[in-house]
């Protein structure tokens, strides 16, 4: 999350995602947000630019720090790894972030950050990064749902490359019409080494 403040504040598009930490009274405070296509387009992240997520942040004022609990539920649209068309991927994220005041921005650990001692924190970029963290490594349509034109070209390519990894082109193991089950024991292939042992007279 390095460069978080430099990325957000000059843009001026995310005032609705500022939380006034210093002015919060002791106890818990809840903030709700809707992250839509406009939000992700304005964020301009590399992973995706479309989605619809309901988000809630519960802020608890502690001694010397603040605990932010993020809850996110919805979908984002990312390019399919196979056909590059948009595919909807569910987002279900729950996590904590601890914030402390200091002279400049830094990260103590994955879930502890130091921010300049200001009255508020803008959490827009955290929403984007947490959504990215919730995505699976493989992002593909269900079998048969990929773009047909692209799938056809991939199938031709895969035919010349037996190692091609594509779930759309898995063999149909339910089709057993060509399988011959009437194979006698004598017709089974025998390891040549065992075959030579059969010729030995061991009586």
Tens of pLDDT along 83-127?
999 999 999 999 999 999 888 888 888 889 898 877 788 999 999
pLDDT exceeds 50 at position 4? no
Per-residue pLDDT, 2: 38
Q: Which of 33, 35, 34, 19 is nearest to 67 (CA)?
A: 19
pTM score, two decimals?
0.69
pLDDT exceeds 90 at position 3? no
Per-residue pLDDT, 198: 52
How is the chain split among helix, strand and coil, in percent rounded to 5? 25, 30, 45
Tens of pLDDT along 152-195?
776 677 666 544 444 454 434 344 444 444 545 554 455 555 55
Per-residue pLDDT, 102: 86
Which of the two residues, 179 and 144, has the higher pLDDT score?
A: 144
Tokens coding 87? 């595919």
Per-residue pLDDT, 1: 43
Tens of pLDDT along 30-83?
999 999 999 999 998 889 999 999 999 999 998 889 999 999 999 999 999 989
Average pLDDT, the chain: 78
Instruction: Fill in the DSSP letter of residue 25.
Output: P
Per-residue pLDDT, 123: 93
Torsion, Cα of 139, 140, 142, 143 (10° steps): -140
Per-residue pLDDT, 64: 84
CA distance 139 to 152: 19
Per-residue pLDDT, 186: 52
């Amino acid at each position: 999350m390095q460069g978080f403040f430099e990325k957000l504040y000059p843009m001026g598009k995310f005032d609705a995602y500022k939380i006034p930490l210093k002015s919060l009274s002791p106890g818990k405070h809840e903030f709700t947000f809707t992250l839509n296509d406009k939000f992700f387009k304005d964020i301009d992240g590399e992973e995706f630019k479309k989605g619809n997520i309901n988000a809630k942040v519960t802020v608890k004022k502690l001694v010397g720090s603040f605990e932010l609990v993020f809850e996110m539920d919805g979908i984002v649209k990312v390019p399919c790894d196979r056909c590059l068309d948009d595919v909807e991927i569910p987002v279900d994220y729950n996590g904590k972030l601890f914030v402390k005041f200091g002279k400049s921005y830094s990260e103590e650990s994955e879930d502890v950050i130091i921010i300049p001692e200001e009255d508020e924190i803008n959490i827009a970029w955290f929403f984007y990064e947490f959504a990215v963290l919730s995505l699976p490594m493989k992002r593909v349509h269900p079998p048969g749902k990929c773009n047909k034109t692209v799938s056809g070209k991939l199938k031709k390519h895969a035919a010349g490359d037996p190692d091609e990894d594509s779930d759309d082109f898995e063999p149909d193991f339910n089709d057993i019409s060509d399988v011959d089950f009437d194979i006698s024991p004598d017709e089974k292939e025998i390891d040549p080494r065992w075959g030579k042992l059969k010729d030995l007279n061991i009586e």
